Amino acid sequence: MIVLEVENFINGKFVPTESHIDSYEPSTGEVWASIPDSGEKEVELAVASAKAAFKGWSATPREERSRLINKVADLLEKDLEKFAEMESRDQGKLLRLARLIDIPRAIYNLRFFASAILHDLNSSTVLEKAGAINYTIKHPVGVAGLISPWNLPLYLLTFKLAPAIAAGNTVVAKPSEMTSVTAYKLCELFNEAGFPPGVVNMVFGFGHKAGEALVSHADVPLISFTGGTVTAEKVRMSASKHCKKLSLELGGKNAAVVFKDAELDKCISQCIKSSFMNQGEICLCTSRIFVQRQLFPHFLELFVQATRKLTVGNPYDDTAIIGALISKQHLNKVKGYVKMAEKEEADVLCGDMSDGLNLTDEKKNGYFMRPTVITNVRDESRLMTEEIFGPVVCVVPFDDEDEVIERVNKVKYGLCATVWTQDVSRLHRVSHQLQVGTVWANCWLVRDLNLPFGGVKESGVGREGLKDSIDFYTEEKTICLQL
């Protein structure tokens, strides 16, 4: 098999490195890309390049910045199919999903922030008694360090990159070494669009080496990190040395709360999606479903029936609903939770069984598992408290509103939740009391980039979205002029 050689992108040029990391195709288990194993030296060069480009880029009129970002979006749209295929191959996600969600959303991220930056978010006041005018201006911060995970590679990278450069920062990005290919290919589009060298730099490699060097670099005053809560602790420590601006979008243990009056068909189909989309490898996936006791047996029966129908298979196959997990190590971790359920004598109702996944021979070594439903599990179990980040969901009963709110809130995470009832007052009451950053009432994953997104508790610090991202990637200065 031909192995794709990924190179770092520094100062507008592709730069080879001495050592490399193998990147595996999740659906075959074979090496398909070779990723630079960057360290301090490469990060140093990339930061120096971004620092040198900052003066020119931050002084570039925002209309021009916006035009160039839109150009990249246009080029990406032209190559949508190619990027979707690479994303699917690199991550194991369904090609259909990459085509419908990941790449279109990356294009939208670019266009959204290219447009947002044209609108003025400054404010002013007149102090008549003092004979003075106050006003605020926003400055770009400098070199932004962007660290993104493997589950939605280009989607999440562009969610950081677009506002950062739109606001006039230059960037050094470090995508996950497991999914670096679309980020690498995006660099070609920055050159093709005519971006000045050094505005966008990408350094590929391991988090503990390249990521750590970037986070702790004295010339990088801002870090935007999306990833796991444990990694975030290290990032926080390293970033604290220089009092960096820090945004942390982290893990979750998201709950669905299903009341007995829920519109059942819609609720089941959406809970199936929210539990298993992208193999459950979305930070917003549901992994605990609380169902009011009167509805519990019926819900569980229908939910398990629907789960059994989900076809696991080749990400390129139009009939597959579940693709491959990101890596062998992650697959084993997720399967470990199913073993834990068996040890704890919880009931594994369907899922991770080795019988016929019906895969073609070339896919037999891929990282596949069946979507798994577990019940009869205690709230204190690690199955109910830890982020599994795979196609595994626990379904448990509850009796009343106060009880379920307390149980949902008991975990250390607080990213999102869904609530299912036709009682609007209840939706309102429950939504207010859940300790999460986003509540979806009678829906899931209906996102509006205009609104803040982020988590509470150990699910993160800060918000991303129209105003929040622009605020984060700028420093606001108040100027008082006495006339």
Core vs surface per residue 261-276: b (16+ CB within 10 A) or e: ebeeeebbebbbebbb
Measured from the CB atom, the residue of 313 and 390 that comes closer to ligand NDP is 390
Interaction of residue 150 with ligand NDP, rule CB under 6 A: yes
Size of the site for ligand NDP (CB under 6 A): 32
Interaction of residue 149 with ligand NDP, rule CB under 6 A: yes
How near is the Cβ of 419 to ligand NDP at its closest, in Å? 20
Which helix or strand (DSSP H or E) is residue 82 part of? helix 80-91
Measured from the CB atom, the residue of 176 and 307 that comes closer to ligand NDP is 176
Among 206, 442, 445, 457, binds ligand NDP (CB under 6 A): 206
Measured distance CA(211)–CA(204) in Å, rounded: 9
Residue ranges in 272-331 that form contacts with ligand NDP under rule CB under 6 A: 283
| Residues sharing a CB contact under 8 Å with residue 390, sequence separation 6 or more, in sequence order | 279, 280, 281, 325, 330, 331, 333, 334, 337, 369
**Within a 10 A sphere around the Cβ of 124, how many other Cβ atoms?**
11
Among 95, 143, 147, 419, binds ligand NDP (CB under 6 A): 147
Interaction of residue 235 with ligand NDP, rule CB under 6 A: yes
How near is the Cβ of 214 to ligand NDP at its closest, in Å? 7
How near is the Cβ of 225 to ligand NDP at its closest, in Å? 6
Interaction of residue 391 with ligand NDP, rule CB under 6 A: no
Measured distance CA(268)–CA(266) in Å, rounded: 6
Whether the Cβ atoms of residue 82 and residue 75 lie closer than 8 Å to each other: no
Interaction of residue 231 with ligand NDP, rule CB under 6 A: yes
Interaction of residue 460 with ligand NDP, rule CB under 6 A: yes
Measured from the CB atom, the residue of 84 and 214 that comes closer to ligand NDP is 214
Interaction of residue 207 with ligand NDP, rule CB under 6 A: yes
Measured distance CA(159)–CA(405) in Å, rounded: 31
Measured from the CB atom, the residue of 252 and 323 that comes closer to ligand NDP is 252
> Which of these ranges, 11-19, 144-152, 376-384, 425-433, lies near ligand NDP under the rule CB under 6 A?
144-152
For 14-54, give the DSSP string.
Answer: EE--SSEEEEEETTTTEEEEEEE---HHHHHHHHHHHHHHH
Interaction of residue 417 with ligand NDP, rule CB under 6 A: no
Long-range contacts of 237-242 (CB under 8 A, 24+ apart): 238/212, 239/215, 241/216, 242/216, 242/218
Interaction of residue 211 with ligand NDP, rule CB under 6 A: yes
Whether the Cβ atoms of residue 239 and residue 113 lie closer than 8 Å to each other: no
Measured from the CB atom, the residue of 65 and 212 that comes closer to ligand NDP is 212
Torsional class of 38: left (φ above 0), alpha (ψ -120 to 50), beta (otherwise): beta
Measured distance CA(277)–CA(313) in Å, rounded: 13
Task: State which residue has the least CB distance to ligand NDP.
Answer: 207
Residue written as tokens 């970002």?
69
Angle between the N-to-C axes of helices 424-433 and 401-409, in degrees from 0 to 180, rounded to the nearest 10? 30
Whether the Cβ atoms of residue 359 and residue 383 lie closer than 8 Å to each other: no
Interaction of residue 383 with ligand NDP, rule CB under 6 A: no
Interaction of residue 452 with ligand NDP, rule CB under 6 A: no
Which one is catalytic: 25, 177, 212, 249?
A: 249
* Bridge-based pairing state of the strands 456-457 and 413-414: antiparallel
Interaction of residue 228 with ligand NDP, rule CB under 6 A: yes
How near is the Cβ of 414 to ligand NDP at its closest, in Å? 11
Interaction of residue 227 with ligand NDP, rule CB under 6 A: yes
Among 26, 92, 163, 251, binds ligand NDP (CB under 6 A): 251
Interaction of residue 102 with ligand NDP, rule CB under 6 A: no
Interaction of residue 90 with ligand NDP, rule CB under 6 A: no
How near is the Cβ of 195 to ligand NDP at its closest, in Å? 23
Interaction of residue 208 with ligand NDP, rule CB under 6 A: yes
Measured distance CA(327)–CA(230) in Å, rounded: 19
Among 8, 38, 176, 287, binds ligand NDP (CB under 6 A): 176
Whether the Cβ atoms of residue 462 and residue 469 lie closer than 8 Å to each other: no
Measured distance CA(332)–CA(344) in Å, rounded: 18
**What count of residues does the chain have?**
483
Among 222, 415, 436, 466, binds ligand NDP (CB under 6 A): 415
Q: What tokens does 235 get?
A: 């990032």
Q: Is 403 a catalytic residue?
A: no
Binding mask 49-78 for ligand NDP (x = CB under 6 A): ------------------------------
Whether the Cβ atoms of residue 92 and residue 315 lie closer than 8 Å to each other: yes
Measured distance CA(92)–CA(322) in Å, rounded: 9
Interaction of residue 462 with ligand NDP, rule CB under 6 A: no
How near is the Cβ of 222 to ligand NDP at its closest, in Å? 14
Q: Return residues touching ligand NDP (CB under 6 A).
A: 147-151, 156, 174, 176-178, 206-208, 211-212, 215, 226-228, 231, 234-235, 249-252, 283, 387, 389, 415, 455, 460
The residues that are catalytic are: 249
